[in-house]
Structure 1
Amino acid sequence: MEIFFTILILTLVVSLSGIITRILPFEIPLPLVQIGLGALLALPKIGLHVDFNPELFLVLFIPPLLFSDGWKTPLREFLRYVGEILALALVLVIITVVGIGYLIYWIIPGIPLVAALALAAVLSPTDAVALSGIVGEGRIPKKIMDILQGEALMNDASGLVSLKFAIAVAMHTMVFTIGGASLEFIKVSIGGLLSGILVTWGYSKSLRYIIRWSGGDSVIQTVLLLLLPFATYLIAEHVGVSGILAAVSSGMTIGQSNVIRHAPLAMRLRGNNVWTMLEFVFNGMVFIMLGLQLPGIVSTSIMQAKMDPTIQAWMLFVYVFFIYVALIMLRFTWLWLMKRISLRLMQKRPLVFSTYDIRDILIASFAGVRGSITLAGVLSIPLFLNNGIEFPFRYQLVFIATGVILLSLFFSFLILPLLLRGIVISDKTLQRMEERMARVVAAEVAIESLCKLEERLLNSQEENIDKQILNEVSAKVMGNLRRRIDDNSEAGNYSLAEDLERRMRLNVLRAERGEYYHLRAQQKISNETLIKLLHDLDLLEALLIERD
């Protein structure tokens, strides 16, 4: 019962956090508000203490969030920037693990090299979800954001695989060699990607049977879709490959395949609504969980630091700041080097980094915020080694990782708005031209299809449709399509007519909805009839709103 109440309280707090950010007289990013609310809940007088299980955290929150991010990631942009993404998600992660790891080993007295490398590994992944919560959607230039999103999708696996190696060496369960680690990384990464694709392919092949056996029930179909990222993650982990990359590749496969396109309309509508809700709740719970752990991490770390004669408590805060600055400087330096290398050695096919100016590099540097994967990774470090001895410097590692997460969120909130000031995010002209071209081409294909349908209906002996009615309806539909093709102006009469028609139809639907309720109140229709009529209106209204 206690777990049930805890889940209810966390869900309520997530919902209230969205309201709080809107009623505050000053702007605070949603992730920081949620972390603050979590810390308040963990105060002794309130007494909401949640034991953080890193394995459960990874299975419960990370697969659906990464699946959703992969679903929304355009494959065209991902493949276009695959070189830039690998430069950040793979090469920079390796440089971070080695460079920051040795820096930590050098500045913290007595820390073993393996522990320092483990801390550097959990600090290497970035979090695009946290970044969007900090600066908002559509604030960062597209040429930067597309790369940052692709990096965040891929570097989770490289960072956690590096952490796995460091822990295995510390536990004396493996001997580290560069060749062995490289082969293991390739196996885990490629295996994870293939696992996600195969599981999603199996789901897509069985979907038509699911639809048939479920009797067209969209609820069952939506629930099975929600289970897909969890199944993908668990299967990949069971066979010894990256579950994180499996969840990402599963989402991207769903987004690029015809699975959802050919799914029933009710499933698509319900699925989109459910995923939007789950994204908000799960993202919020991730940051609230961080806030819940924060007081305990700080108090435990300070208390243990006082008991440790080799370190003073205030030095922990210095380490946090120093390591965060080192991460920013390393990221800035690597981006600047990639710009120079691209300009000098890749003149035929330069990377997009070659177009970055200093402000773009600074934006990409401070946009590398740390989030949920870093927290889950550092808390997954075992308490004890195989010989029963405590894992060396574990409390310092947890404190420093948590501090770096908070600093990255805080400084991104302060600095990114200043760097983004005056930047024109995108020119809408090209987007409008693409949209108009697509509408015209689609209208031409639709007219051709409509003519074929009209001919079939006229020649059909079973339909028995009146020719005058058929011509009238066909002319009306075809007239709308021809206006779309003939209107060549950028903001022409067709767009105005379409907008007016949409507004009038919405007004009609809302009037009809009110009358249906009135008829039910007068007991002229039953409640079952009302529900059916309202459902039809909701589907029509959803289609009209999508065109807004």
Structure 2
Amino acid sequence: MEIFFTILILTLMVSLSGVAARIIPFQIPLPLVQILLGALLAWPTFGLHVDFDPELFLVLFIPPLLFADGLKTPTSEFLHHGREIIGLALVLVLITVVGIGYLIYWLVPGIPLLPAFALAAVLSPTDAVALSGIVGEGRIPKKIMSILQGEALMNDASGLVSLKFAVAVTMGTMVFTVSGASLEFAKVAVGGLLAGIAICWLYGRSLRLFNRWSGDDPATQTVLLLLLPFASYLIAEHIGVSGILAAVAAGMTITRSGIIRQAPLAMRLRANSVWQMLEFVFNGMVFLMLGLQLPDILQISISEAEVDPNVDLWMLVLSVVLVYAALMVVRFAWLWTMRLISQRLLRRHPMEFSNYSLRELLIASFAGVRGAITLAGVLSIPLFLTTGNAFPARYELVFIATGVILFSLLIGVVVLPLLLRGVEGIDKSAYRREMQMARAAMAGTAIESLYKMAERLMADTEENIDRELVQEVSARVIGHMRRWVDGNDDLERALYTENLERRFRLTALRAERGELYHLRATQKISNETMTKMLHDLDLLETLLIEKEE
């Protein structure tokens, strides 16, 4: 029962964190609010303490979070910025693991070299979700944000794979050589990607079978989709390849393969809602766990500082600041280097970095905040070695990783709004023009199909067709579609017409909902009829409200 109550409390705190972030008079990023709530729960007054298995923590949180990131990553944009993403998500991660690893080893005497590499590996991934929580959606220019999102997706995988190598060598289950590690990394990475693609393909085939057997039951199909990231991870790990990359590949493949597009409408609607909820809960859980660990981390650090003369709490705090500063310097230097390489060696096909100004390089540097994946990675480090001894300096690794996450969020809250002042984010007018152009093109194609359908119906002599009714209905629908085509030439009038129509439709829809409840209250309709019609009204209202936003 204790575990059950703990899960309920954590879920409640995650939901309340969103409310708290909105009612606080000054802006605090949601991850920081969740960390503070977790620390408050762990305060002696409440005394909530959560014991967990690091391996279980990794399996529970990492696959769905990476899968959700893969779902949201447009494959075309990812491939378009492939060189930039590889430069940041692979090369920069390797530079960070080696360079920052040696810095941590030199800076903190109590941390051996291999655990220092493990800490550097978990510090290398960036968090696009935490970044959006700091600056808000649409504040960072799209040419920067597209690369940051692709980087955050792939450096999660490369950083955690590097962590597994460092932990395996520390545990004594693997012998490190440069050639052997390179071959093993290639095998694990490529194998993980192929495993994710293969498992996603098998999921698509099985989904078609379940559609036949279950009669397009959206609940069954949604549950199967929820199991996909865990299946990808566990199967890949079982065959000896990267489960992390398998989860990423599965998330990206499922959007590209058309499996979701061909799925029934009810399943798509339910799956989108469920994934949004799960991503919010899982991200919040991870930051709450960080807050819950803070009092223990501080208490253990103080105790160790009193017992071990080589451990100094203030030195650990200073190490957090220096490690974060080194991460920012390395990141900025690598971005600057990539810009120079692009300008001098890739003039025919330059990278996006070649056009970056100094301010944009600084934005991309400080946008590399650390978040959920860093925390999940460091907490997944085993408590004990295979010999039964404690993992070397584990509490120091957790302390520094926690400090870097907090410090990066705090610095981001202060620095990024200053850097973004006067910088145009997403161009909303260009976005509206693009939407109008797409609607006009879609309406043009739809009108052609409607004309053909009307001609087929009018030419059908076998059915008893009311030709006047066909002409009336087709003219009404085509007239509605024609507005989008005509509005493509006059954007302002089209937007005003759309807004006016939306207001009338929302007014009518809300009146319909009120009448529906009245009909049920007077027992003129059944509860099943009311539920079905309310669902239809909710879908329509959701569509109208999303257009308004």
Query: What does the per-residue CA deviation read over 1:193-249, in whole Å, with 9 as the maximum and x for residues that have no partner?
Result: 221111111222222222222222222222222222221222222222222222222
Which amino acid is the alignment partner of residue 299 of structure 1?
Q
Aligned to 2:193: 193
CA distance in 2, matches of 1:510, 1:110: 65
CA distance in 1, matches of 2:542, 2:219: 18
In the TM superposition, residue 488 of structure 1 has moved relative to its aligned partner by 4.0
Mapping for residues 395-406 of structure 1, pairs under 5 Å: 395-406=395-406
CA distance in 2, matches of 1:106, 1:228: 42
Distance 1:172 1:56, change over 3 A: closer
CA distance in 1, matches of 2:187, 2:407: 34
Aligned to 2:51: 51
In the TM superposition, residue 308 of structure 1 has moved relative to its aligned partner by 1.2
Distance 1:501 1:52, change over 3 A: same
Aligned to 1:10: 10
Say whether the 8 Å CA contact 2:57–2:380 is kept in structure 1: no
Say whether the 8 Å CA contact 2:67–2:247 is kept in structure 1: yes
Distance 1:294 1:363, change over 3 A: same
Aligned to 1:102: 102
CA distance in 2, matches of 1:285, 1:40: 14
Aligned to 1:179: 179
Distance 1:504 1:316, change over 3 A: same
CA distance in 2, matches of 1:109, 1:540: 62
What SS does structure 2 have at the residue aligned with 1:46?
coil
Query: What does the per-residue CA deviation read over 1:46-79, in whole Å, with 9 as the maximum and x for residues that have no partner?
Result: 0111113222222222222221211111112111
In the TM superposition, residue 486 of structure 1 has moved relative to its aligned partner by 2.8
Aligned to 2:154: 154
Aligned to 1:464: 464
In the TM superposition, residue 461 of structure 1 has moved relative to its aligned partner by 5.5
Query: What does the per-residue CA deviation read over 1:258-300, in whole Å, with 9 as the maximum and x for residues that have no partner?
Result: 2222222222222222222222211111111111111111211
| Larger deviation, residues 94-103 vs 368-377 | 368-377
Which amino acid is the alignment partner of residue 250 of structure 1?
A
Distance 1:43 1:110, change over 3 A: closer
Say whether the 8 Å CA contact 1:200–1:250 is kept in structure 2: yes
Aligned to 1:253: 253
Aligned to 1:144: 144
Query: What does the per-residue CA deviation read over 1:80-138, in whole Å, with 9 as the maximum and x for residues that have no partner?
Result: 11101111111011111111111112222253221221221121111111111222211
Distance 1:199 1:353, change over 3 A: same
CA distance in 2, matches of 1:76, 1:369: 25
The yes-or-no answer on 1:368 pairing with 2:368 is yes
Say whether the 8 Å CA contact 1:101–1:120 is kept in structure 2: yes
Aligned to 2:348: 348
| Larger deviation, residues 347-356 vs 271-280 | 271-280
In the TM superposition, residue 435 of structure 1 has moved relative to its aligned partner by 2.5
Mapping for residues 489-500 of structure 1, pairs under 5 Å: 489-500=489-500
Aligned to 2:166: 166
| Larger deviation, residues 467-476 vs 116-125 | 116-125
CA distance in 1, matches of 2:241, 2:31: 31
| Larger deviation, residues 317-326 vs 524-533 | 524-533
CA distance in 2, matches of 1:526, 1:213: 30
Query: What does the per-residue CA deviation read over 1:134-192, in whole Å, with 9 as the maximum and x for residues that have no partner?
Result: 22211111111111111111112211222222222222222211111111111111122
Aligned to 2:447: 447
Aligned to 2:244: 244
CA distance in 2, matches of 1:57, 1:195: 22
Aligned to 1:394: 394
CA distance in 2, matches of 1:390, 1:532: 58
What SS does structure 1 have at the residue aligned with 2:491?
coil
Structure 1 length normalisation: TM-score?
A: 0.96
Distance 1:60 1:434, change over 3 A: same
Say whether the 8 Å CA contact 1:378–1:401 is kept in structure 2: yes
Say whether the 8 Å CA contact 1:306–1:313 is kept in structure 2: no
In the TM superposition, residue 37 of structure 1 has moved relative to its aligned partner by 0.2
In the TM superposition, residue 513 of structure 1 has moved relative to its aligned partner by 1.3
Aligned to 2:336: 336
Aligned to 2:206: 206
Mapping for residues 59-78 of structure 1, pairs under 5 Å: 59-78=59-78
Structure 2 length normalisation: TM-score?
A: 0.95
Query: What does the per-residue CA deviation read over 1:7-47, in whole Å, with 9 as the maximum and x for residues that have no partner?
Result: 11111111111111111111111110000000000112201
In the TM superposition, residue 383 of structure 1 has moved relative to its aligned partner by 2.9
The yes-or-no answer on 1:544 pairing with 2:530 is no
CA distance in 2, matches of 1:128, 1:539: 29
Aligned residues: 548
CA distance in 2, matches of 1:407, 1:231: 35
Say whether the 8 Å CA contact 2:54–2:382 is kept in structure 1: no
CA distance in 2, matches of 1:110, 1:264: 57
Identity of aligned residues (%): 69
Distance 1:537 1:376, change over 3 A: closer
Structure 2 stretches lacking a partner, 5+ long: none
Aligned to 1:222: 222
Say whether the 8 Å CA contact 2:38–2:292 is kept in structure 1: yes
Distance 1:390 1:183, change over 3 A: same
CA distance in 2, matches of 1:388, 1:227: 34
What SS does structure 2 have at the residue aligned with 1:61?
helix
CA distance in 1, matches of 2:515, 2:534: 11
Which amino acid is the alignment partner of residue 15 of structure 1?
S
Aligned to 2:90: 90
CA distance in 2, matches of 1:453, 1:287: 55
Say whether the 8 Å CA contact 1:502–1:544 is kept in structure 2: yes
In the TM superposition, residue 337 of structure 1 has moved relative to its aligned partner by 1.2
Distance 1:492 1:32, change over 3 A: closer
